[in-house]
Structure 1
Amino acid sequence: MHIYVGKLDWYEYATDECITIVFPAGFALKDPACAYWQWSTSFTGVSKENCIQNGSIIGVTSTTKEYGVRFESSYYSFQGYVTADFKSLSLTMTDPDGKHAPVELSLQYSDTMRIPSTSVFTGKLDWLTYSVNEMATLIIPGEVANDQPVILSRQWTVDHNGTPKGNDVLNTVMRAVGVDDKGNVKAEFGDGYYTFNFTILKSDGSMSLGMTKSDGYVDPSAPYRLTQTDFRDLGALIVRYGTGTDDGIFKVQDMLINYLGFSSNDVELLYFDVDPPSGPKECTLGQDPPTIANFKSKFTKLCTNAEVGDVSFLYVDARNTTYPDEDGSDARDDGDDGWILAGNDDGTSKEILPAVWLADTISKNLTKGVNLTIASSSSIGSSELDGRKAVPGILLTGCHETQFNIKALNGKDPWIVAVTSVIKDNARRQRGVPTYSALFNEAKNFIRAHLANKQLAENYKGPSPSEWDPVPGRQADNTSNQDPQLTFYQDFFDPSEERFLLPFQAPINEEADGQAVRFPRDEYPHEEL
């Protein structure tokens, strides 16, 4: 990732203002790009109004001397060049009316991370007469941990030498990192003269920032409130019931927070940590139990609160089942499929969450342009993307709904281990976030390699002989083939273009429409499989 800071002059609205450009992943096509500055006087006449512009890279070129980049936000476009050593960024900023202005910036921080794990908080900072209502941009490139980088970009109203609007960028590391008894994350950093301490509040994810002079002086307006304003709003719900106590859900949580830019406040878990085979179960770590009522409430909120450009994620580690038909037949009808979740708070009763409820809730509550991805150890059928009507969303499941999941990799679900391992391996190899198609196939290859090396339990039978024609699981001997499924509507998004858990860059229609597509069944002609 890369951080550049410079000065912005934009007609009568911005004069010599600090501008910070953040590339959270890199300069690849469709990577996010974020710009932060304040207006001297905004278009509506507001003095020192913060401006946040988030977008993505839509064009790249490369020569031996420079790297060309073009990115667009919701209103402005930026086009320019990065020098071959990455130390300088020259941009032209353009509005829809064709007005434009040059912007020169210099590199303040860079690393080799190509996964967009960056968090950005913005607000206002006051310090005596030297900093009056000035924008503060605090950037955390990775996790909040001791000796990990933190960058604070701002400007003085007038510095101690009498110079107006001088940029001040502090690039250092965090120390004294900890979590208080309310779950708030705390850390501090400084330059030897000023010490900054921050608290990320568990309640709403905002940041309280303090600033202390070496003699102990604190401005009366402190602490300062900063809000998270990076390139996306995120939300995730992780649920486990009736499948054991392995660490699969925590692998998902770790992937989201440490590799995909989610904060701990973005991710909620429903599970029993005390989960005996029979008798009452318990939640002793402050989490809510995985009941039908809790799931319905929290999933509805996940869909309802999401806005255009947001990412919402659901992971369910539960057994799939079907309703018994009223006529006593074994036919699978709309409404038959479901996940088994807890019926009460101690898990001693079970209930079925119908897939049609899931589909109806998504259809009624999800805003156009939201990336809703559902991953699961076991599928509950095409009615997740309801066959009666097109439902927005992407399904990434460990097996077909006629099969059942087997935790065959040292007691873990091979599918979720594969997905999380691919994401982590991409980060290690500085490759960035894969597309949905790439992730789907790389995860299957991960499983095939472990199967070939006999690292999976014997009752895990791997892919069906023809993976587009899944062999059903066999309850009698507790064996099952496993054919992962990627399901979506063809006019909703392109899995070879869109990347896993990133905001949609080019939704084809922003509405689910057309035919429901299943990989591997519809991935390519069967004779080529």
Structure 2
Amino acid sequence: MSIYRGKMNWYEYANNEEFTVILPCGKRLNDPINLYWQWTKDSSGDRNVNVLSQTTITSVTQTGIPGEVKFSCLCNNYYTFDITSKQYGTRLSIFMRNPRGDTSSEMVLQKFYPSQSRTYAGKLNWYDYAVNELFIVFLPAGLGEDLRVTAHWQWTKNAQGVPKVNCDVNDKQRHEDKDPNKFYFKNGYYTFKCTADNKNKTLLVTMKDPSGNSSGPMMLKLQSNLE
């Protein structure tokens, strides 16, 4: 599985929003592809609405350039994403278009390492710094001490006041008690305490800082599982 991270821009509806593309199997015709972002404002005027699209690759074209392949997919039966995998899969160049032919500017996503098999998504809230932001957590096939966990979101504004800064965490699972469904991970400052249900369908996450301030639990739902 390959995970790519960058920014989504689509006219006034998505303004510099967190954008994650997941290629669970590869870049062949009919292979699955997942695209996750949030609308700054959707067509109904609602803000920070998650889009969690799971679709398939509808066309593949070899460009003749070493390490490069083009492919497309249809999202929500409306938007087409024309994607070029470049530099042997280390980055994606993406153009988004609608049926009228309106087309986005180029969106460049970089490959994120490592990738994991289970994907959870929901919303993150942390005071004024993260307000109803898309929150994605990737876990491996099992839970256990020192197994990897990655988490991804964007700050509404970071500590320096800069808006819409992507944040990516790569850590290991740590356990405080004997409950195999409970673990925590860190990003160097914040601690994220997690509880998975017995069927691994949901993940409850509570975020804490060193001063003891906390937010949550926030419920993330399983989006895909490649076990």
TM-score class, shorter-chain normalisation, is: 0.7 to 0.9
Deviates more, 1:141-150 or 1:74-83: 141-150
Relative distance call for 1:64 and 1:110 in structure 2 (3 A) is farther
* Contact 1:206 1:225 (C-alpha < 8 Å) held by counterparts: yes
Q: Distance in 1 between matches of 2:155 and 2:113?
A: 20
How far apart are residue 177 of structure 1 and its match? 8.3
Matched, 1:43 2:8: no
Distance 1:100 1:110 in 2: 31
1:229 pairs with 211, 223, 226, which one?
Answer: 223
Q: Does the 8 A contact of 2:94 with 2:108 survive in 1? A: yes
Q: Say if 2:24 and 2:226, in contact at 8 Å, map to a contact too.
A: no
Q: Does the Cα contact within 8 Å between 1:192 and 1:214 map onto a contact in 2?
A: no
Deviations 1:395-439 (A, max 9, x none): xxxxxxxxxxxxxxxxxxxxxxxxxxxxxxxxxxxxxxxxxxxxx
Q: Partner letter of residue 48 of structure 2?
A: K
**8 Å contact kept, 1:31–1:56:** yes
**Contact 1:189-1:195 within 8 A present in 2 as well:** yes
Give me the identity figure in percent: 31
Distance in 2, Cα, partners of 1:70 & 1:13: 22
CA RMSD of aligned residues (A): 2.3
| Cα distance in 1, alignment partners of residues 150 and 99 from structure 2 | 32
**AA aligned opposite 1:186:** K
Aligned mates of 1:71, 1:178 — CA distance in 2: 44
Q: 1:105 aligns with which of 109, 126, 151?
A: 109
SS of residue in 2 equivalent to 1:157: strand
Q: Contact 1:24–1:141 at 8 Å: present in 2 too?
A: no
1:57 CA drift (Å): 1.9
Q: 1:108 to 1:178 in 2, by over 3 A?
A: farther
- Tell me how far 1:190 sits from its aligned partner: 1.1
| Structure 1 equivalent of residue 147 of structure 2 | 148
Structure 2 letter corresponding to 1:176? H
Counterpart of 1:43, as a letter, is: S
In the TM superposition, 1:106-145 aligns within 5 A as 106-110=110-114, 118-145=117-144
Shift of residue 20, structure 1, vs aligned partner: 0.8
What does the per-residue CA deviation read over 1:350-401, in whole Å, with 9 as the maximum and x for residues that have no partner?
xxxxxxxxxxxxxxxxxxxxxxxxxxxxxxxxxxxxxxxxxxxxxxxxxxxx
CA contact (8 A) 1:130 1:159 kept: yes
Partner of 2:167: 168
* Matching residue within 261, 273, 292 for 2:226: 261
Q: Tell me how far apart the structure 1 counterparts of residues 4 and 175 of structure 2 sit (CA, whole Å).
A: 27
Q: C-alpha distance in 2, partners of 1:110/1:26?
A: 16
CA contact (8 A) 2:200 2:222 kept: no
CA 1:167/1:147 → structure 2, altered by over 3 Å: closer, same or farther? same
Task: Classify 1:69/1:142 alpha carbon distance in 2 versus 1 (closer, same or farther; 3 Å).
Answer: farther
Q: Deviations over 1:239-283 (max 9, x none)?
A: xxxxxxxxxxxxxxxxxxxxx736xxxxxxxxxxxxxxxxxxxxx
AA in 2 matched with 1:209: V
* 1:202 CA drift (Å): 2.6
**Residue pair 2:29, 2:57 contacting (<8 A) in 1 also:** yes
Shift of 1:90: 0.5
- Counterparts of 1:190 and 1:143 in 2: how far apart (Å)? 19
- Residue aligning to 1:66: 68
**C-alpha separation between the residues in 1 aligned to 2:46 and 2:117?**
29
**Alignment of structure 1 residues 365-514 onto 2, 5 Å:** none
Which protein has greater RCO, CA pairs closer than 8 Å, 6+ apart? 2
Cα distance, 1:160 vs structure 2: 0.4
Asked whether the 8 Å contact 2:67–2:89 carries over to 1, the reply is no
2:187 equivalent to 1:191 = yes
Counterpart amino acid of residue 146 in structure 2:
D
| Aligned equivalents of 2:118, 2:100: Cα separation in 1 | 32
Displacement of 1:203:
6.8
SS at match of 2:51: strand
Q: Per-residue deviation at 1:70? A: 2.0
CA gap 1:144/1:97 in 2 versus in 1, 3 angstroms: farther
1:158-192 Cα offsets, whole Å, 9 max, x none, are: 10011011111112222228773xxx722221122
Residues 169, 54 of structure 1: alpha-carbon distance in 2 compared, 3 angstrom cutoff: same
Q: Is the 8 A contact 1:146 1:177 kept in 2?
A: no
Q: Which one has a bigger Cα radius of gyration? A: 1
Match of residue 96, structure 2, among 77, 89, 93: 93
Equivalenced residue count is: 223
Moved over 6 A (4+): none
Distance in 2, matches of 1:156 and 1:142, equals 28
Gap runs ≥5 in structure 1: 112-116, 231-259, 263-529
Q: In proportion to residue count, which structure has more strand? A: 2
